Every structure is written in structure tokens, then in C-alpha cells.
Structure 1
Amino acid sequence: MVSVNPYFISDLLSPITGLADDDEAVEKYRDIDTSVDNHYREIIRLEIKTYYDCLSNENKEKVKGALNYYLSTSEIDFERVFESCLPPFDPPKDARNFFIWVWEELFEGENYKITNKAEYVINSDVNEPNRPS
């Protein structure tokens, strides 16, 4: 069994969480074109991948498992996850795409689709990972 926790999906957005209230950050990302995936991919590479790279190997596996599961199912509202983090820019037209791009940037060449959903169990205990300093 693979245990997944939806917490790790929103935690991955930590570097941009709450920046909707930061005028400097809003100005920095003001020119994001919500129809151009490369604008989002650049933010993912600069902010989210950098954060991910600082996580422990255990937490990297938890993030990967959560992304793997939730991208393969319809059991999470990606727009709600994205918006709840209050980032300094709007989501793409389909917020799920943002998380697909995160997967592609973090796990280049790997397929996120799972073949046997029954192998996964949702664990909603919020044991926050050790955050990088």
C-alpha cells in the first residue's frame, strides 16, 4: 500500500503561499500570461523546484506519491488547492495543468498516471514535514 496525504500537494506551493498580500510579489508576477505554460514553468523551476530540492528524501517521496495519486484521480479540486495558497498570480485556465507542469518539472520523463488506484490509501494526518531552513 502507498499512503498519500493531500497536505503535500499544498505544501509544495509554500514558496508562493500568501504572496497575494505582498505588493512586491504581485508586481513581480504581474505579467503572467495565464495562457502560456512557460510562464508558469519558469516559476515552478525557480521557486517550487528549489523548495522541493531542499526537502528530505522521505518528504520528496511523500510529495511525489501525493502528486502521482491526485493527478491520476479526480479526488482533489486543484483550483481550490491553488487558490487557498493565495499565490501572487492567477492559476491557469485549468488549475490541474499547473500541477501537471509541476510533475513534469520535478520528475522529467516520468508518467504520473497510476494503473491501480486500489494500491493507494489516503492518510489525512497532518504531520507537517520538516521544512528546509
Structure 2
Amino acid sequence: MELCAFLYFNGNCRDAIAYYADVFGVEMPEIATYGDFPEDPVAASKPNISHYVAYAELDIKGNRLCFSDSFPETFIGTNIALTIMSNDPAEIGMLYEKLKPGCDIIMELQETAWSQGFAMLTDKFDITWQLNLCCMPVK
């Protein structure tokens, strides 16, 4: 079994995919658009969305992150955060620096009661990320 996160966007999914591919240093994936599926009821009812993303996924160190533009438009909420857990302080630091520009920083990268390095930020696509240096004893 595998648990994957699926992120929905309001027409800017392709930009989000490029952003996350850059942040995580992975290749841009193949992108299926609504125009690739003309029989799809959503695509048929909204012909002006043919270039929007129907499905794409990034492989981030063996973990799948799935993407789509959603119609009707998706409500962007605050009920989820994606958490990156790593044993590598350099990796957490690098991801923090790459995500930080243009983000709303909720918590700077810092030592906490549960981690020697933890940060929380909301990126330009309103996705909240937690970066957690795990499996390290806290002083």
C-alpha cells in the first residue's frame, strides 16, 4: 500500500508542478491535460480548459506527489500540511531555502521540543509545508 498526497489547483497547476520539480530537484513529469480526454464530462462541459492539467505526478525520492487542476474551482483551505521528514540536516536546510522565497513563514527553521530542526511555511500556491529533521535526539 502507498499513501500519496494529491494537490488540486485552480488553473495554475502547471506552474505549481514546475515550482515543486525545481524545489525537489526532480525532472518535470509528463502532463496529461483535459484536452487529452475529450470524452471526459468535465472537459466536454468546459472546452476552454483543454490546456489545464488533468493529471501529473512527481516522484520525490520514491514518494508520489499527484497534481490536477480542479473544476469546479477548488477551495484553497488550511486543513492539510505536507510534511517532509529527513535525517539529513543539509537536506532540510536546502529545502527551507528553496521554499522560503515568496512564502508566508509560519515558523522559521529552528530547534523545537520534538526536533533539532523544524520549519513551517505556506508557499505561493497556498500549500503549507512542514520540514522536520527527524530521528535526531533533542537536547
TM-score interval (norm. to shorter) = under 0.3
Flag the structure with more relative contact order, 1 or 2, with Cα contacts below 8 A and sequence separation at least 6.
1
Q: TM-score, normalised by structure 1?
A: 0.26
More helix, by proportion? 1
Q: TM-score, normalised by structure 2?
A: 0.25
More strand, by proportion? 2
